[in-house]
Amino acid sequence: MSHSVCVISSRAPYSGQSAREALDTALVSASYDIETSLLLMGDGVYQLLQGQEAGDIPRKNLAAMLQVLPLYGIETIYVDQLSLEERGIRSDALQEGVTVLAEGELPLFIQQHSRVFIF
Amino acid sequence: MKFALAVYGAPANSQAPQSALHFARAVVDQGHEIVRLFFYQDGVNTATAIAQPPQDESNLPEEWQQFIQAHNLDAVVCIAAALRRGIVDQAESDRYELPGHNLRKGYELSGLGQLLDGALMADRLITFGA
Amino acid sequence: MSTLHTVNKPGQAMALCVRAVVSGDSVLLIEDAVYELLSPASRLDALPDGCSVYVLDIDARARGVAVSAPFEVINYDRFVLLCVDHEKVLSWF
């Protein structure tokens, strides 16, 4: 049976290590040649805001780290539309390479993966 | 049935390791198999050998260790998460020339790939988050 | 093809969980998620029809939260059985 993995990342980028450790999980999964999706929900959508300059905190720029995903075969990042709307974020404020999932699409999208990791 | 358990919360800032232990005991009692325990994020603090809670409180690192050893479980602590949070074994302590080591016996430091492996090996992955 | 969703706190974890549930799934409230039962505007009201909601006994008792129908109080043995009976477990926290 061939597996597919969905990593759900639901925390803002710089308050802890959760966003980073979710991303690491997606990268490890993809490096095993498993079909892998990264889905941002809740405060996780803040990871995609353009113009992040985290060097003074100092932290690594998470938005920049997300841009390496295509090198691992993860071509698009999925985002929960409702989470964007609740936070007043328009999808054109996000970096490129994003697929927005409408409310009705979400359950099926998540459940079509054989393994789901939530962070 | 094969279970993989992931613990993402520390004893002092979440109920995750306590809930996971209750769950793990019930899994074993019912004759199921735990193919992997994986401690990630702040959950790595569960593997410390040098926490000393007051005597009238539960000592989760010790209780988990006893459970792991009694059932001969494969208990993996994510090495990158552990190094970030100051949980190291003798080898890592030597490698980075640290003043000591504090990984409890029964736990093993290894890579995040072990979380993926465990989840793929098991029929069910149950996560206890912070 | 049903999923067991565990939730361990009210707030975002509960909101995202409810968004991912489909009819036939089950939801288990553990740890601080039992406080959701006190909310006058519980997100559980938004669950689709045909979902069962379970509450972990020791976590509700620890917090002084009373549980009444249609919610069902269960112990860890039932928690394990629910994991077996559902194809997948999603843990929201």
Q: What is the CATH number of the domain that holds B76?
A: 3.40.1260.10
Task: Quick: pLDDT tens for B92-113.
Answer: 999 999 999 999 999 999 999 9
Instruction: Please tell me which residue of chain B has the smallest CA distance to C84.
Output: B1
Rounded (10°) CA dihedral B16, B21, B24, B26? -110
Task: Quick: pLDDT tens for B112-125.
Answer: 999 999 999 999 99
Q: Mention every residue, 6+ apart, whose C-beta is less than 8 A from residue C32.
A: B15, C8, C9, C10, C63
Tell me which H or E stretch contains B77: strand B75-78
- Cα B64 to the chain's mean position, in Å? 8
Q: Provide the shortest C-alpha distance from residue A52 to chain C (in Å).
A: 24
Instruction: Please tell me which residue of chain B has the smallest CA distance to C80.
Output: B27
Q: What are the structural domain ranges in chain A?
A: 4-118
- CB atoms C12 and A43 under 8 Å: yes
Given this model, what pLDDT does residue A96 score? 86
Check pLDDT > 70 for residue B27.
Answer: yes
Per-residue confidence band for C61, with pLDDT thresholds at 50, 70 and 90: very high
- For an interface test with C, which of A41, A118, A119 has the most C Cβ atoms less than 10 Å from its Cβ? A118
- What integer is the mean pLDDT of B62-86? 98
Check pLDDT > 90 for residue C85.
Answer: yes
- What integer is the mean pLDDT of B26-53? 98
- CB atoms B119 and A18 under 8 Å: no
Three-class secondary structure of residue C88 per DSSP: strand
> Residue for token digits 């998540």?
A110
- What integer is the mean pLDDT of C26-46? 97
Task: Quick: pLDDT tens for A22-72.
Answer: 999 999 999 999 999 999 999 999 999 999 999 999 999 999 999 999 999
In C2-75, where does DSSP find H-type helix?
Answer: 12-20, 57-62
DSSP letters of C48-60?
Answer: PTT-EEEEEHHHH
- What integer is the mean pLDDT of B23-36? 98
Given this model, what pLDDT does residue C1 score? 73
Given this model, what pLDDT does residue A1 score? 64
Q: Provide the shortest C-alpha distance from residue B65 to chain C (in Å).
A: 20
CATH of domain A4-118: 3.40.1260.10
Closest CA to A87 of B55, C76, C12: C12
Given this model, what pLDDT does residue A115 score? 98
Check pLDDT > 70 for residue A17.
Answer: yes
Amino acid at A37: S
Q: What is d(CA A68, CA A60) in angstroms, rounded to the nearest whole number?
A: 13
Q: Provide the shortest C-alpha distance from residue B56 to chain A (in Å).
A: 31
Check pLDDT > 90 for residue A95.
Answer: no
- CB atoms B19 and C89 under 8 Å: no
- Domain holding B121, by residue range, is 2-128
- What integer is the mean pLDDT of A67-78? 95
Q: What are the structural domain ranges in chain C?
A: 3-92
CATH H-level, domain C3-92: superfamily? DsrEFH-like (3.40.1260.10)
Q: What is d(CA B39, CA B6) in angstroms, rounded to the nearest whole number?
A: 6
